[in-house]
Structures are given as C-alpha cells and as structure tokens.
Structure 1
Amino acid sequence: MRIEATGLGKRFQREWIFRGLTYIFEPGSATAILGPNGSGKSTLLNTISGQLLASEGALTYEHAGRPVAVEDVPQVLAYCAPYLEVIEELTLTELLQFHTRFKPLRPGCSPGRLIELMYLEKSRHKLVRDFSSGMKQRLKLALALYADSPLLLLDEPTTNLDRAGVAWYREHVHATAPGRLVLVSSNVPEEYDFCSQQLSITDFGAQAAR
C-alpha cells in the first residue's frame, strides 16, 4: 500500500488543524506521526483513512500497483483507536464471528486462534460490555493487527493497557507489521519505536498554517 499526500490540509470552521502536508508513505514502511495531545494527529489519521475529507490538497492511494479510490480504502484498512467502539452486546466469540465476515483475518489465523493470542480463552462466552477497558483495548488491537489488510493505522495504541498489555502490544505489532504500511499516531516512544520513519504534525500545524 502506498499513500501520497500533496498539499494536504484540514480545518474546522476557520481553524486549520494542519496545512501544506506533502509526504509519501511508502509500501512496507512504518511511520510514527508525532505531536503533543491536541496537535491534530488523530485528525490526520482520520483524513488518511477517508473518514474525514481534506479541506485542501489531495490524497492518492495505490495497492499492488493499482490505484485505490478513497471510497474503497476501508476494504484495505485496519484501524485501532480509543474512540472506535466494538459491539458490546455480543460475546467475544460472537463478535469475532461477526467482525471477520467483513474483515477477514490474516491467513492461518482463525477467531479461535485470535482468542488464544489475546489470552482471553476464559472470556470467549463473556459479553464484551463486561470486559475491562484494558481487555477491550487488547481486543481492538488484535482485530486490527491480525486483519488481512495492507494498511494499518494505530492511534495511541496502548491507551488503557497495563505493563503486561503494553508488552503484548509490542510483541504482536512486531509480528504483524512487516510487509504492511503502518502509521502510528503517538507521543509515547514504546508505541512507535519500531517505526523507521517519523512525521511531526507540528511542522504542519496551526502556526505553520498561518
């Protein structure tokens, strides 16, 4: 997956969140999008994912040498963020069976195997609404990390995780990142220190946009 941003900008009413961002995210690379809280990291990820429309500039997508229309990006995208919800009225097993109908898992990984990887065997028949915040975050991470998707977006991936959860994230992001285009929005080195590229959103933030 290759994404090219050209003169990209996003504003809400009169306030520019970022502006003039030109950058190429190369296939198989991992890029950390850095900046303090409120600097626009999540807005950039949401714009790249197609959930938000850019106010100016352009985004072009390419996969396996072919262009991808913005409306088709969700088909090649796996996304984990604290503000994205899962269906809490289902049990873990029911949720995985439902989710994987629309977003298949990587070859060789089944819903049952994913439960094992998350160390949630004893909770397979438990309603997701009864999970702790850390369990829900591990679930959201697993669905993204083990999705059969060439584009992986991670926004503050260790939110709500304890030390064991952070170690779990680091183990599994290292296992699943190779060969994908990975973007990590963060200001915590533990979340992005595997990334070979860094992009500071503050270089294109409110001050730069004036």
Structure 2
Amino acid sequence: MQIEANGLGKRFHREWIFRGLTHLFRPGTATALLGPNGSGKSTLLNTLSGQILATEGTLTYSVDGQVVPVEEVPRRLAYCAPYLELIEELTLTELLHFHTRFKPLRPGITPTRLIELMYLEKSRHKLVRDFSSGMKQRLKLALALYADSPLLLLDEPTTNLDRTGVEWYLEHVAVSVTNRLVLVSSNVPEEYGFCQQQLSVTDFGAKAAR
C-alpha cells in the first residue's frame, strides 16, 4: 500500500498536535515516526491509518496504482499497540480462530503454526486474561506481523516485553516487513532499527504548527 499525505494536520480543540506534513509513504518501505512521549506519534499513526480524521490536508491510499477508499483501509492494515484490547474471555486457540475470520494470516501460516512461532504451545488452551503482559504483547505483535495485509502499523512494539521478548520481536519483524508499507511509532532505537526512513514528529508538531 502507498499513502500520500499532503499538508496533513490534526488539532484537538485549539491545540495543533501536528501540522503541515507532506510525505509519500511508498510500498515496500519502513518509516519510523519519532519523538518523545506526548509528542503526538500515536495520533499521527492513527491519522495516517484513517482511524482519526485529519483537521486539514489530504490522505490518499493506493494499492498497485488503484486508489483505495478510506473506509476500506481498515481491512488492509494490521495494527499493534499497547492500548489495543484482546478478547480475554477466550482461550488462545479460540481467539486466533475468531480473529482470523476477519483478518486472515499470511499464506502458509495457520493458527497452530502461529502458536508455535510465539512459543506458546503450552498456553494454547489458557484464557487470554491469565496471560502475563508480555505474553499479551507478543500475541498482539504476532497477529499484526503475520496478518495478510499490505499495511503494518506498530506503536511502541516492545512495550511490556522482557529481553527475550524483544529478541523475539526483532527476529520476527525482520521476516514480516517484506513488500509491506510499515510505520513504526517509537522513541526506542532498537524498535525501529530496520526502518529505511525516519520522520521526527517535532519537525511538524505543536511548536512547528504555531
């Protein structure tokens, strides 16, 4: 997927979170959205995904040269963020079968194989609500990394992960970004080391927007 932002800006009440972003996010590339906590990285990520409406400017989505209406973007993206909720009343196996009815996995990846890739074979029949915060984050990441979608959005992807979890993320993100447009919101260099491009939110953030 390709995203073209032209003069993009977002304001809450009278405060501009960011303003004046013009950038072409090309398919097959990974871009890190950088900035300190509270700088508007997550807001920008959600705006680029079409989940939050921009206050000004335009966003154009396309796949293979064909324009994609904004209302169709959600089914073409995979998203991982610490604030996204899982259905905790289901077991891991139940959740995967339910989730993949709406968001299919990449060819060759089945729910059973995904459990193996997460190293959660012993927890396949465990309720998600009983998972540790690190296990939940690994599950969120796996659902996004291995979704069959051309747009991958990662917001602070190593939140709640220990060193082993971070190494798992680095291993699996490396094999999951090929031929996708990837956007990573982060202020941790290790999370976005694979990105070819970097955009600092402070360059078009609140100070720049005044």
- For 1:152-191, list aligned pairs within 5 A: 152-191=152-191
Q: Does 1:68 align with 2:71?
A: no
Q: Give the drift of 1:82.
A: 0.5
Partner of 1:176, secondary structure, is coil
User: 2:174 and 2:192 mapped to 1: Cα distance?
Assistant: 10
C-alpha distance in 2, partners of 1:64/1:74? 17
Q: Secondary structure at 2:142's aligned position in 1?
A: helix
Partners in 1 of 2:101 and 2:42 — Cα distance? 27
Which position in structure 1 is the counterpart of 2:87? 87
* Counterpart check, 1:128 vs 2:128: yes
Alignment of 1:18-33 (within 5 A): 18-33=18-33
Query: Identity of counterpart residues, as a percentage?
Result: 81
1:14 aligns with 2:14: yes
Paired residue for 1:38? 38
After TM superposition, give the deviation of residue 64 of structure 1 in Å: 1.8
Shift of residue 51 of structure 1?
A: 1.2
The one-letter amino acid paired with 1:169 is Y
Mapped partners of 1:105, 1:115: distance in 2: 12
Aligned-partner Cα distance in 1 for 2:26–2:52: 22
Please list every run of 5 or more consecutive structure 2 residues that lacks an aligned counterpart in the other structure.
none
CA distance in 2, matches of 1:153, 1:85: 16
Q: CA deviation at 1:75?
A: 1.1
Match of 1:143 in 2: 143
CA–CA separation in structure 2 for the residues paired with 1:130 and 1:74: 29
CA distance in 1, matches of 2:80, 2:123: 21
Per the TM alignment, residue 91 of structure 1 is displaced from its structure 2 partner at its CA by 0.2
TM-score, normalization by structure 2: 0.99
Q: Distance in 2 between matches of 1:201 and 1:24?
A: 15
Secondary structure in 2 matching 1:43 = helix
Structure 2 distance, partners of 1:50, 1:127, is 32
Post-superposition Cα deviations, 1:142-171, rounded to whole Å, max 9, x if no partner, equal: 000000000000000000000000000000
Q: CA deviation at 1:179?
A: 0.8
| CA distance, structure 2, for counterparts of residue 184 and residue 107 of structure 1 | 24
**In structure 2, C-alpha distance between the alignment counterparts of 1:99 and 1:65, rounded to whole Å:** 29
Deviation at residue 65 of structure 1 after TM alignment? 1.6
RMSD of the alignment, in Å?
0.4
SS at match of 1:148: coil
The equivalent residue for 1:96 is 96
Residue identity matched to 2:52: L
- Deviation of 1:197 (Å): 0.4
What is the distance in 2 between the residues matched to 1:13 and 1:25? 28
| Gapped regions of structure 1 (runs ≥ 5) | none
Equivalent-residue separation in structure 1 for 2:52 and 2:65 (angstroms): 25
Aligned pairs, how many? 210
The superposition leaves residues 162-183 of structure 1 with CA deviations (integer Å, 9 ceiling, x where unpaired) of 0000000000000111110000
User: How far 1:48 sits from its partner (Å)?
Assistant: 1.1
In 2, Cα distance between the equivalents of 1:126 and 1:202?
43
Give the match's secondary structure for 1:98: helix
What is the rounded CA distance, in whole Å, between the counterparts of 2:2 and 2:30 in structure 1?
A: 11
Name the CA distance, whole Å, in 2 between partners of 1:165 and 1:64.
Answer: 35
1:208 aligns with 2:183: no
Shift of 1:49: 1.3
